[in-house]
Amino acid sequence: MGRVEGKVAFVSGAARGQGRSHALRLAQEGADIIAVDICGQIGSVPYAMSTPDDLAETIRQIEGLDRRIVATQADVRDFGAVKAAVDKGVAELGRLDIVSANAGIFSFGTMEELSDELFDDMIAVNLTGVWKTVKAAIPHIKAGGRGGSIILTSSTAGLEAIPNIGHYVAAKHGVVGLMRTLALELAPDFIRVNSVHPTSVNTDMIQNAATYELFAPDLAPEERTAEVLAPRFQTMNTLPIPWVEPVDISNAVLWLASDESRYVTGITLPVDAGELLK
């Protein structure tokens, strides 16, 4: 028996990166998956976002594990679209037990120079989108009468201040507030709510030209490679690594989703290579 055998998990931002990894890890341990992703570009995001092909690859990998998946292209800023996707998934898969509210974006700028668009898009996706994801799911978990587990993806930036990403910091701190309030409100139904707080993760969100420029403005564009930038990323962590892998976060999500953490609720769980020690 897998650690989440027979359960159904709803994962946002599932087309690639951490979201795909979370969906795969949960499926490896027996869960069927409801997946959503925008599969498109947001204008204020300075790197290429996911595509329909990415979501198709997630479907292929989940089905390769002999698990069921109901995947929908949906923007977490659109509650109606997210609700329709969850409703469809539950209708096909029969239940909902786990939520991984993972979808998120990244952009840069000092608080003084941020445009309204950059700030508003960040809050709309990384904070309001998390709330809308959970809001669409709660009635289905409650209806099952079996309790459940909701895991919100925050960041080390949800527990500390980091310059040049103040709008991201604000959104990720806000996720902690959502998590704690939801944990209180949903406890009578035995629905647990927790947040995970990654350091830099080896995904397209950091492995792109825009993020490299933020970390190495002194270097020419052609000099900014993952190999060259790794030592700079490593300075953020205590353990001697530049970034963690998506599966490292997925393993934390799996633990919080499983009965191994059955009495754990309302916690902020860092997977940060010791970044917060600094």
Please confirm, yes or no, whether 168 is among the known catalytic residues: yes
Q: In what order do the strands lie in the sheet with 32-37?
A: 69-73, 32-37, 8-12, 98-101, 148-153, 191-198, 268-271
Report d(CA 140, CA 227) in Å as an integer: 45
Residue 84, number of CB atoms within 10 A of its CB: 15
Helices within the chain (DSSP H only)? 17-28, 52-64, 79-93, 116-123, 129-144, 166-186, 209-215, 226-234, 246-257
CA 76 to chain centre: 12
Q: Contact at 8 Å (CB) between 144 and 96?
A: yes
- Set 47, 168, 212, 263: catalytic member: 168
3-state secondary structure of 12: strand
Residue 123 in tokens: 């809050």
Would you name the residues annotated as active-site residues?
Answer: 168
